[in-house]
Amino acid sequence: MKRFLPLLLLIASSAFAQEPIRDKFPDDYKPSPCAADADAVCESYPKNRFKEAGVTYRGFDIETEWINARWDEMRTAYKPICAKIGNCFTGPGNDWPYCLSLLQPDFFTACERFPAGSEDHDQCMMFTMIYWLGLKAKEPLHEASQKCAAGQPQTEKTLQAFIVEKVGLDHNGKLTVHAYDADTHIPVRAYMAIETGKIKSTEGPVPRTGYPNEWRGRLKRVPNAEGHSDVAAPLVTLTAEGYKPLTFPMPIEVPKMVVEITPSPDQLKPGKNIITVTARDVATGKSVEARVMAEDMAVGETNKPFELELTRRDRRPEIWVTSLFDHYSDVVVAKRGK
Among candidate residues 228, 249, 270, the one where a domain is terminated: 249
Among candidate residues 221, 249, 277, the one where a domain is terminated: 249
Indicate whether 241 and 262 sit together in one domain.
no
Indicate whether 263 and 245 sit together in one domain.
no
CA 265: distance to chain centroid?
46
Residue 296 is inside which H or E element, if any?
none
Q: What is the mean pLDDT of residues 314-332?
A: 92
Indicate whether 277 and 234 sit together in one domain.
no
Indicate whether 57 and 140 sit together in one domain.
yes
Indicate whether 164 and 202 sit together in one domain.
yes
Indicate whether 134 and 212 sit together in one domain.
no
What does pTM read for this prediction?
Answer: 0.83
Indicate whether 37 and 96 sit together in one domain.
yes
Per-residue pLDDT at 41 exceeds 90: yes
Among candidate residues 150, 167, 199, the one where a domain is terminated: 150
Domain membership of residue 165 as a residue range: 159-249
Per-residue pLDDT at 5 exceeds 70: no
Tell me the C-alpha distance between 127 and 122, whole Å: 9
Per-residue pLDDT at 14 exceeds 90: no
Q: How many structural domains comprise the chain? A: 3
Per-residue pLDDT at 16 exceeds 90: no
Per-residue pLDDT at 11 exceeds 50: no
- Secondary-structure percent of the chain, ordered helix, strand, coil, rounded to 5: 30, 25, 45
Q: What is the mean pLDDT of residues 228-237?
A: 96
Indicate whether 35 and 110 sit together in one domain.
yes
Indicate whether 182 and 145 sit together in one domain.
no
Indicate whether 206 and 298 sit together in one domain.
no
Tell me the C-alpha distance between 25 and 98, whole Å: 13
Indicate whether 235 and 262 sit together in one domain.
no
Indicate whether 233 and 206 sit together in one domain.
yes
Q: Model confidence over 171-228: pLDDT tens digits?
A: 999 999 999 999 999 999 999 999 999 999 988 889 999 999 999 999 999 999 999 9
